[in-house]
Structure 1
Amino acid sequence: MSDPMRPRASLRTAVVWDVLKDALDRRVKTTGRDALDVLDTGGGSGNFAVPVARLGHRVTVVDPSPNALFALERRTAEAGVADRVTGVQGDALGLFDVVERGGYDAVLCHGVLEYVDDPAEGIRNAIGALRPSGVLSLLAAGLGGAVLARAIAGHFTEARHALTDPDGRWGEGDPVPRRFTTEQLTGLVEAAGVRVDAVHGVRVFADLVPGVLVDTEPGALEALLKLEAAAAEQPAFHSVATQLHVLGEKRGTAEA
Structure 2
Amino acid sequence: MPRTTPHDPLPRASLRAAVVWEALEDALARHGAVGRAAGKADGTAAGEAGADAAAGGTPAGRALDVLDTGGGTGGFAVPAALLGHRVTVVDPSPNALFGLQRRAAEAGVDDRVRGVQGDIHALFDVAEPGAYDAVLCHGVLEYVDDPAAGLANAVAALRPGGLLSVLAAGLGGAVLARALAGHFASAHRALTGGDGRWGEADPVPRRFTPEELTRLVAAAGVDVRAVQGVRTFSDLVPDGLAESEPGALEALLALERAAAESPAFQPVAAQLHVLGGRK
TM category, shorter = over 0.9
Residue 159 (structure 1) shift: 0.3
TM-score by length of 2: 0.88
8 Å contact from structure 1 (residues 169, 177) kept in 2:
yes
Work out which of the residue numbers 1, 7, 14 in structure 2 matches 1:10: 14
8 Å contact from structure 2 (residues 6, 21) kept in 1:
no
Query: 2:231 is matched by which residue type in structure 1?
Result: R
Q: How does 1:1-150 map to 2 (within 5 A)?
A: 1=4, 3-5=6-8, 6-32=10-36, 34-150=62-178
Residue 216 (structure 1) shift: 2.4
CA distance in structure 1 between the partners assigned to 2:145 and 2:194 by the alignment: 14
Deviation digits for residues 178-219 of structure 1, max 9, x if unmatched? 100111111111111001001000000001111101122221
Residue 20 (structure 1) shift: 0.4
SS state of the match for residue 264, structure 2?
helix
Work out which of the residue numbers 156, 160, 164 in structure 1 matches 2:192: 164
CA distance in structure 2 between the partners assigned to 1:70 and 1:10 by the alignment: 21
Aligned to 2:211: 183
Residue 2 (structure 1) shift: 5.2
8 Å contact from structure 2 (residues 5, 21) kept in 1:
no
Aligned to 2:259: 231
Residue 128 (structure 1) shift: 0.6
Superposition CA RMSD, Å: 0.9
CA distance in structure 2 between the partners assigned to 1:180 and 1:138 by the alignment: 12
Structure 2: runs of 5+ lacking an equivalent: 37-47, 49-61
TM-score by length of 1: 0.96
8 Å contact from structure 2 (residues 175, 187) kept in 1:
yes
Structure 1: runs of 5+ lacking an equivalent: 252-256
CA distance in structure 2 between the partners assigned to 1:61 and 1:151 by the alignment: 36
Deviation digits for residues 23-81 of structure 1, max 9, x if unmatched? 00011111115210000000000000000000000000000000000111111111000
CA distance in structure 2 between the partners assigned to 1:122 and 1:49 by the alignment: 20
Query: 1:193 is matched by which residue type in structure 2?
Result: G
CA distance in structure 2 between the partners assigned to 1:40 and 1:212 by the alignment: 33
| Larger-gyration structure (1/2) | 2
Query: 1:138 is matched by which residue type in structure 2?
Result: V
CA distance in structure 2 between the partners assigned to 1:145 and 1:163 by the alignment: 10
Residue-pair matches, total: 251
Aligned to 2:45: none
Query: 1:41 is matched by which residue type in structure 2?
Result: T
Higher relative contact order (CA 8 A, sep 6+): 1
